[in-house]
Each structure stands twice: as C-alpha cells, then as structure tokens.
Amino acid sequence: MGFELQLSPGQRRLLDMYRRWGPAAMIVVITAVSLLLSVVATGGAMAVQRPPLVDWIISMTMATVIPLIVAPIASGLTVRLLGTIVVAHDHLDLLASTDALTGLANRRRFFAVAEQMTADRGPDEVVMVAVTDMDGFKTINDTHGHAMGDAALQQIANLLSRAVSGVGLAARMGGDEFACVIRVPATDVEAAQGRITAACSDIRFGDELRLSASAGFSTVEDRTDIDGALSRADVGLYLNKGRLRRRSTDRESADERQAA
C-alpha cells in the first residue's frame, strides 16, 4: 500500500510485536526469555556435571541474576532501535501515500483503499467513487497567480475531506483532479453524492473570488473495477461540465437580450 521495508519474516514479526505490545512489554518479554534460556541451559549443564550443592546454588544464582541485570539493558537498547525504525517507517509510509500540497491521499493510496473497501463491503453496502475537478482552474492560475491556484486546491481538498469523513477517503489524483471513494448503505448513496456535490459548489476566497468544481459519480462492482468506475465517473464529470457551460451561455444570452 505504502512504503515497504525489505525485512525478513523474523524482523517483520519483531516489528509487529513492538507495534502491538509497546516498548515496556517488549523489554519484559525479552528479559523473561533470556532468564528462561539462562536457567534452562545452566540447569542442564549442572545436571550433567553433578557438582556439589554449593556450586549448583552458585551457578543457578548467577544464571538468574546476570540475565536480570544485563537483559533489560541490552533489550532496552534494542527496543529503542526498533522504535526508531517504526517511527521512520511510518513517516516514509505517510510521505509515499500523501499528496504534499493538500495533505490528501495520493493516487497510489486511493487505489489501495478503494480495493480494500470493495473487498470489505457488506451485502447492503455500496462502494462509490466520485471524480471532481475545478471549473476554469487554468484561468485562476493565469489571472490570480499560482499561489491562489494552490490555495484553491487546498480549499477543495478540505471540503472534500470533510464531505467523506467517516465513510471514505478523498485523494488528489493530479493537477486539479480529485477523487473520493466511499462505502455507505445503499439507502445513503444519494445523500453521500449530495454532500460531495455541495462541497464542490461553494469554494470561497474572501469576498473577491468564488469558485466551483464539477463532479461525476459511479459505483464499483468489484475489486477489479476501480479503473472502470473512475472512467464512468469521468464521463459523468464531463457531462456535468457541459451542462454547466450551457447554463452559463444561456445566462449570458439572457443578460444580453435584457440589456438590449
């Protein structure tokens, strides 16, 4: 899904244990295992050699005390190293799956999450994708500058993220194109579409600039249908853009007739 460390199965299990148990529990477990191995090995050697009772007691005491002193120190250093690796891995994973400008998921993570949602959906649930892009985004950059264009992308990213919060994921697919994937009960599909459409319809920058974005929707049939669903949503997106352009042209014509 994201960044993958090249680890052996044993190393991967060790990191998984650290994530589940935490550092303190790991130190206790390593110390307990070291103590057990020391006592068993020393006891076995004593059983073979059959030393005097005093030597037996001394050997078993050393076999117990030394691991209790050394193991926590050595395991503490090991666990600290594991913690550093886990933090670094999580940070790299975040960088590998996140769009730097908007903070949304990137294309790679979108597909991974969409596939997982489709695999996990219940019998009465629908997985739906939405594709959106800014209306007249090139004009924004040309007229107001790229800083304003970046701010517009960040604004719609925040709106889409809130619109799908708790039911899905918003992602930046590239440029001014965004996609959302949601999993909702079949009875909530229309409401979910409405939230995404509303998020696209009112993007404001103070009093001087108001923007919008168009959206298209499609349902996902199975895990192999993510690309197909995006393509179908793209068709809906451009149909909606065509309707928007026609309405804009009609309004301009009506204004011209009224002025005449």
Domain coordinates in residue numbering, the chain? 9-97, 107-259
Instruction: Kindly calculate the radius of gyration of the chain based on its CA atoms and give it in whole angstroms.
Output: 30
Mean pLDDT of 152-160: 88
- In the prediction, which pLDDT does 245 show? 52
Contact 117, 181 (CB under 8 A): yes
pLDDT band at 170 (very low <50, low <70, confident <90, very high): very high
What pLDDT is attached to residue 250? 43
Question: Half-sphere exposure of 163 toward its Cβ, with a 13 Å CA cutoff?
Answer: 29
Instruction: Indicate if the pLDDT at residue 154 is higher than 70.
Output: yes
Q: Which of 185, 170, 94 is nearest to 132 (CA)?
A: 170
3-state helix vs strand vs coil in the chain, percent to 5? 70, 15, 15
**Quick one: CATH architecture of 107-259?**
2-Layer Sandwich (3.30)
Question: How confident is the model over 222-244, as pLDDT tens digits?
Answer: 888 899 999 999 988 888 776 55
Greater pLDDT, 70 or 202: 70
State pLDDT tens for residues 76-132.
Answer: 888 888 788 777 777 777 777 889 899 999 998 999 999 999 999 999 999 999 998
CA distance 69 to 45: 22
pLDDT of residue 67: 86
Tokens of 224: 């192999």
Question: pLDDT band at 181, cuts 50/70/90?
Answer: very high
Residue 254: which pLDDT band, with cuts at 50, 70 and 90?
A: very low
C-beta separation of 224 from 127 below 8 A: no
Residue 251 has pLDDT above 50, yes or no: no
Give pLDDT tens digits for 27-64: 888 889 899 999 899 888 888 888 888 888 888 899 89
How much is the pLDDT for 83? Answer: 82
Please answer whether residues 80 and 23 qualify as being in contact, where contact means their C-beta atoms are separated by less than 8 angstroms.
yes
Give the Cα separation of 191 and 205 in Å (integer): 26
Question: Mean pLDDT in the chain?
Answer: 82
Helix axes 146-163, 137-144, angle to 10 degrees: 140
Residue 187 DSSP symbol: G
For residues 189-213, average pLDDT = 78
